[in-house]
A and B are shown apart, each in its own frame.
Chain A
C-alpha cells in the first residue's frame, strides 16, 4: 500500500540549531500536512500545503511541497526546547484516507 517515509527517524540537536526533515512517497500526493505531537497529547496541525512548489511558513517553521509531488520538507529555524516532540507528515491516499508517516522524533540536547 501507499506509504510515507519520514527521514530522519530521530534527531538530536543543540538548542539554537536549524532543523530539516523530509517526507517522501512513491506516489503523488495533492496535499501535504505537517503535524507535531507532544508526549501524551494529540497531534497539532502545523502547516498544510496544497500546491506543488508551495512554500509556507508558520513562525519559525517552513514547509515546502516538492515539485515532483512525491515529497515535502519541514524546516525549523533556531530551535528552542519546546520544539521537542514528534513531527508527522500526512497526506490523502488513493482512497482519500489520510496516511501518516512514522514520524521524526526531535530531541534537544541540554
Chain B
C-alpha cells in the first residue's frame, strides 16, 4: 500500500517552454502532497506543500509563479515548471501523506532536462 506515481519519469524540453509533472497517490487519499527538488549527490530540498483544494505553501526562495502547483483532488497534484531554463534541470520528486503522522510516501521522481 501507499503507492505514489509520477509522470513523466523523464522529460527533455527546450528553454522557454513549460513542463507539467503529475503526482498521483494510487491506493490512498493524500491529505497533503509535497514537492521536492534534488540536485546530484545532495539531499532533498522541499519546494512546496499542498493540501487539496487550497493554495500551495512555498518554501523561502522558491518562485511560486515559476513553479505552479495545483492540488485538484485527494489523489492528484501537478507541478508546472513555467518558462523553463537550463538551471531548472533537476530531479523533481513528489510525496504524499495520508495520516496524521509524519510519514511521507515518495513517487519515483521526474528527471527534467532543459536544453
Contacts and interface: CB of A to CB of B under 8 A. Distances in A.
B109 to A, nearest CB: 5
Interface string A88-110: 10011000111011110000000
A45 B103 contact: yes
A94 B101 CA distance: 15
A45 B4 CA distance: 12
Interface string A39-66: 0111111001010000000000000000
Main secondary structure of the interface of B (DSSP, over half): strand
B111 A98 contact: no
B44 A48 contact: no
A92 B106 contact: no
Given A88-B43, A88-B44, A45 B105 contact: yes
Interface in B84-104: 91, 93, 95, 101-104
B106 A42 contact: yes
Interface residues of A, number: 21
Nearest to B91: A40
Contact of A45 (B42, B43, B91, B104): B104
A99 to B, nearest CB: 9
A48 B111 contact: no
A97 B6 CA distance: 22
Given A41-B108, A42-B95, A42-B109, A33 B43 contact: no
B108 A42 contact: yes
A92 B111 contact: no
A31 B101 contact: yes
B77 interface: no
Given A42-B107, A44-B106, A100 B49 contact: no
A59 B34 CA distance: 28
The list of the 4 closest CB pairs from A to B, nearest first, reads: A42-B106, A42-B109, A102-B43, A43-B106
Interface of B: 4, 6, 34, 42-44, 46, 49, 91, 93, 95, 101-109, 111
